[in-house]
């Protein structure tokens, strides 16, 4: 088990180990040693809009310099932008300072390799090993330098626009775009406006403290109300680092990651551009799998986490995958989860099929899911807890082929996620609440 890395990088409360300036200094040095190569190389650093990003950016820069690695500072920019620019700058690595959808009190670090993809486990283990070693600075003449990349935003805007290949532009489309007061607050509105849409913005005034606060993909209520108020065609909600997206149809109904994945899959399938099938996760709705099957589109499940989705896509040679949360990877357009690019693919499907978002989503019936997050104080192997396993077995036996149970520890927070999916809401609620109570009683102390 890794000591610091979770499902998506390193994350936690600011000021609490390991999310401290001294740890970030060591992390920058260790990452520079592992990823920088024999000649030092260069590493890009981007961040979201949290106030703590300034502090951690400086600490990482110092650590990289001590390892002899040059740093290119991108400023506030979406996580997928760092992935893209890491490739185009031929950098050895990219670092993102972000806690994604978490509140401003949290922060974290994500890494990309030279191919713009998340690091594999072996590299994360090697970085962890070095973090606990004494920091040894290279000789003065080999110290890394740092400079800011002033055109990073413009480069990424043009990339996003290039992924929209529908014949019809966005003229005549009214969009409400919620940027979560996060990293997409500059890029997102520019992309959709430059493609011709009328854009009404929410969550585009970050102050370092308001990221994800009652806005964004985890709080879509304001977006739903705004779509109805402005009689918009669609609503788009990014999260704090803009690597995930959820959408809203013209009546204010939420369209989640599974529905988005389905819409894009059917669009590519009809155009004969869907290479292979679709990769979901253990959390993906059973309805998605069944409906794709009706179109003879293969479906595979990966572990939760977009890097596991990408790895499975690579193993199978497929180009589309994603999570219910809105992390969608459109491999024909980009190599990582990208909220803006994903939304553009959905709009392309709307234009190509001359249909509204509600119509495109109506073909998919999702099974009711109940997800309960149970706070815990310690990590345990769930399969070694007999009371918990007994509760799961009892639920599975009762439901039979009418539902399924998934228990997993969160990779980003001290939680056990209890998910029950069934063919009716009451059944899902009943078993989720029963299992969650057993988990709480067993692991609360």
Known active-site residue 365: no
pLDDT per residue as tens digits for the range 319-353: 999 999 999 999 999 989 999 999 999 999 999 99
* Average pLDDT of the segment spanning 412-428: 89
pLDDT per residue as tens digits for the range 5-20: 987 899 999 999 999 9
Domain 369-443 sits in which CATH superfamily?
A: Alpha-D-phosphohexomutase, C-terminal domain (3.30.310.50)
Selecting among 65, 100, 284, 324, the annotated active-site residue is 100
pLDDT per residue as tens digits for the range 119-171: 989 999 999 999 999 999 999 999 999 999 999 999 999 999 999 988 878 99
Please name which of 248, 178, 368, 380 lies closest in space to residue 188, comparing C-alpha atoms. Answer: 178
Residue 445: the pLDDT is 64
Residue 444 pLDDT greater than 80, yes or no: no
Contact between residue 166 and residue 352 where contact means Cβ atoms under 8 Å apart = yes
* Average pLDDT of the segment spanning 290-301: 96
Total number of residues shown for the chain: 445
Residue 226 pLDDT greater than 80, yes or no: yes
Residue 250: the pLDDT is 98
pLDDT per residue as tens digits for the range 53-92: 999 999 999 999 999 999 999 999 999 999 999 999 999 9
Domain boundaries 172-254, corresponding CATH code: 3.40.120.10
Q: Provide CATH 3.40.120.10 ranges for the chain.
A: 10-150, 172-254, 256-361
Q: Is the pTM of this model over 0.85?
A: yes
Please name which of 232, 247, 326, 283 lies closest in space to residue 418, comparing C-alpha atoms. Answer: 283
Domain 10-150 sits in which CATH superfamily?
A: Alpha-D-Glucose-1,6-Bisphosphate, subunit A, domain 3 (3.40.120.10)
Residue 381 pLDDT greater than 90, yes or no: no
Class of domain 256-361: alpha beta
Contact between residue 243 and residue 232 where contact means Cβ atoms under 8 Å apart = no
Residue 315 pLDDT greater than 80, yes or no: yes
Strand (E) or helix (H) holding 341: helix 339-353
What share of the chain in percent tops pLDDT 90? 87
User: Which residue, chain included where needed, has tokens 């409400």?
Assistant: 176
């Amino acid at each position: 088990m890794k000591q610091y890395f979770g499902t998506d990088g390193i994350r936690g409360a600011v000021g609490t180990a390991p999310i401290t300036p001294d740890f970030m200094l060591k992390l920058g040095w260790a990452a520079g040693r592992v990823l920088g190569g024999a000649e030092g190389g260069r590493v890009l650093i981007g961040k979201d809009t949290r106030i703590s990003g300034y502090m951690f950016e400086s600490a990482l820069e110092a650590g990289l310099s001590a390892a002899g690695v040059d740093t290119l500072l991108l400023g506030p920019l979406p996580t997928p932008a760092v992935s893209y620019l890491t490739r185009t700058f031929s950098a050895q690595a990219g670092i993102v300072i972000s806690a994604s959808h978490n509140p401003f009190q949290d922060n974290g670090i994500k890494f990309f390799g030279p191919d713009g993809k998340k690091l594999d486990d072996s590299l994360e283990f090697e970085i962890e090993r070095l973090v606990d070693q004494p920091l040894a600075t290279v000789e003065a003449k080999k110290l890394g330098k740092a400079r800011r990349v002033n055109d990073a935003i413009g480069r990424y805007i043009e990339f996003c626009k290039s992924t929209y290949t529908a014949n019809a532009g966005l003229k005549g489309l009214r969009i409400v775009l919620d940027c979560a007061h996060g990293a997409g607050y500059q890029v997102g509105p520019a992309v959709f406006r430059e493609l011709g849409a009328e854009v009404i913005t929410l969550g585009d005034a970050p102050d370092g403290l308001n990221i994800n606060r009652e806005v964004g993909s985890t709080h879509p209520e304001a977006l739903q109300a705004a779509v109805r108020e402005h009689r918009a065609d669609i609503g788009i909600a990014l999260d704090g680092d803009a690597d995930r997206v959820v959408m809203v149809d013209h009546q204010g109904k939420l369209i989640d990651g599974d529905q988005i994945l389905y819409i894009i899959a059917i669009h590519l399938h009809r155009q004969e551009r869907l290479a292979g099938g679709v990769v979901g996760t253990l959390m993906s709705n059973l309805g998605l799998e069944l409906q794709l099957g009706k179109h003879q589109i293969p479906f595979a499940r990966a572990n939760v986490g977009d890097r596991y989705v990408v790895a499975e896509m690579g193993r199978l040679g497929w180009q589309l995958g994603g999570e219910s949360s809105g992390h969608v990877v459109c491999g024909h357009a980009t190599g990582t989860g990208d909220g803006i690019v994903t939304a553009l693919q959905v709009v392309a499907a709307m234009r190509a099929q001359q249909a509204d978002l509600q119509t495109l989503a109506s073909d998919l019936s999702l099974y009711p899911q109940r997800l309960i997050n149970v706070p815990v104080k310690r990590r345990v192997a769930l399969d070694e807890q007999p009371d918990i396993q007994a509760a799961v077995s009892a639920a599975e036996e009762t439901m039979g082929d009418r539902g399924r149970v998934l228990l997993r520890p969160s990779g980003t927070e001290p939680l056990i996620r209890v998910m029950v999916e069934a063919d009716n809401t009451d059944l899902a609620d009943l078993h989720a609440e029963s299992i969650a109570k057993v988990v709480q009683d067993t692991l609360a102390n």
